[in-house]
Amino acid sequence: METATASLIDGRQIAATVRQEVKASVDAWTAKGHRAPVLKVVLIGGDPASASYVRGKNRACAEAGIESETMTYDADLSEADLLTLIRDLNGDPNVDGILIQLPLPRHIDEAKVLRAISPAKDVDCFHPENVGNLVTGEPGLKPATPAGIMEMLKRSGIETRGATAVVIGRSNIVGKPMANLLVQKGIDATVTVCHSRTPDLADVCRRADILIAAIGRAGFVTADMVKPGAAVIDVGINRVEDPTRKSGYRLVGDVDFNAVREVAGHITPVPGGVGPMTIAMLLKNTLFAATGSWS
Ligand code: NAP
């Protein structure tokens, strides 16, 4: 007997479409005589993973016609100097977006730094004013990963209205904003947020028409936790040892992909799912910061 497997939500393809749309909007903006949108990325310390993320962001900006500049500082940059730099960027009319690559060195107060960024230039959407706007449903900048997931759901024809959505994870970057986006008027999902203290987690997950895993544990979501036909969105990025790879590891998500795809209706792969959407939405946020429009 043939078993139905879930349709794959191709994050790379959806992200490529979003990136082309951003490029078309940037081209239309500059054709009207405006300068190109400008993003400043601040990279502190020599963390290779952060440097590689920043290179990816710069490449994506260049392809979309967005000018991005990485400002690189040694790990001993003082908090006061960083705050001065942010004040200068806030006041610079030729800068539209500011991104401080996290994590920061331990001697710098991350919350203080993120609050110092002008909300209008806060393309990562970490400033409390932008977080507040997200909760109240005001238009404006949205955090890239959850906004990318909303875009994926929409473009994959997954109905949110009336759906039961379960988000596993309550971080400020993914879980909480994700739940807030899903519960907005017009999106109309009924949302439950789970975390490490949630009792009967598997039972809660089994009720989900849309299950979003943002935990950071390889293969956490197993097939028995998934309602048949559900849309399963895997945010997790986890390294697992793999001696067959040159690097000695491979990346997997929070979902036991091979087993869950036999039960789910839709599923995102890792890599190639949520990850590419995050960069695409950073570009969209930069476009919005520069032009005041999403298109
Ligand atoms: P985080 O801040 O570490 O949050 C993880 C959440 O998972 C916490 O709320 C935690 O609960 C919950 N959790 C941990 N163990 C659990 C368990 N056994 N049962 C139920 N809940 C549990 O992580 P994050 O920043 O949200 O990121 C989550 C994952 O997504 C990571 O793998 C990260 O690398 C990935 N990520 C991917 C992208 C992308 O672009 N694809 C972007 C951001 C993050 P408590 O709050 O109770 O501790």
Q: What is the pLDDT of residues 29-49, one digit of tens each?
A: 999 999 999 999 999 998 999
For the CA of 214, the closest atom of ligand 1 is 28
Answer yes or no: is the C-beta of 237 below 6 A from any ligand 1 atom.
yes
In this predicted structure, what is the pLDDT of residue 46?
A: 85
Answer yes or no: is the C-beta of 145 below 6 A from any ligand 1 atom.
yes
Angle at 127 between CA 92 and CA 97, to 5 degrees: 35
Q: What percent of the chain clears pLDDT 90, i.e. is strictly above it?
A: 98
| CA gyration radius, the chain | 20
- pTM exceeding the 0.75 threshold for the entire prediction: yes
Residue with the bigger pLDDT between 49 and 11: it is 11
Alpha carbons 111 and 205: distance in angstroms, whole number: 32
Compute, in angstroms, the gap from residue 219 CA to the centroid of ligand 1. Answer: 13
Phi-psi region of 55 (alpha: psi -120 to 50; beta: other; left: phi over 0): alpha
- The residue-averaged pLDDT of 107-131 equals 97
Could you tell me if 173 and 204 are in contact, meaning their C-beta atoms sit under 8 angstroms apart? Answer: no
Active-site positions?
Answer: 57, 101, 124
Compute, in angstroms, the gap from residue 169 CA to the centroid of ligand 1. Answer: 5
The size of the chain, in residues, is: 295
| Pocket test residue of 99, 152, 170, 215 for ligand 1, highest count of atoms within 8 A of CB | 215
Which of 45-49, 61-65, 120-124, 160-164 is the least confident region?
Answer: 45-49
Answer yes or no: is the C-beta of 102 below 6 A from any ligand 1 atom.
no
Answer yes or no: is the C-beta of 170 below 6 A from any ligand 1 atom.
yes
Q: How confident is the model at residue 3 (pLDDT cuts 50, 70, 90)?
A: low
Q: What domains are there in the chain, each with its CATH number?
A: 34-118 (3.40.50.10860), 143-275 (3.40.50.720)
Q: What is the pLDDT of residues 166-178, one digit of tens each?
A: 999 999 999 999 9
Q: Whose CA is nearest to atom 4 of ligand 1?
A: 171
**Residue 194 predicted with pLDDT over 90:** yes
Answer yes or no: is the C-beta of 140 below 6 A from any ligand 1 atom.
no
In this predicted structure, what is the pLDDT of residue 56?
A: 95
Q: Whose CA is nearest to atom 47 of ligand 1?
A: 196
In this predicted structure, what is the pLDDT of residue 57?
A: 95
Q: How confident is the model at residue 4 (pLDDT cuts 50, 70, 90)?
A: confident
**Residue 130 predicted with pLDDT over 60:** yes
Q: Whose CA is nearest to atom 5 of ligand 1?
A: 215
Answer yes or no: is the C-beta of 275 below 6 A from any ligand 1 atom.
yes
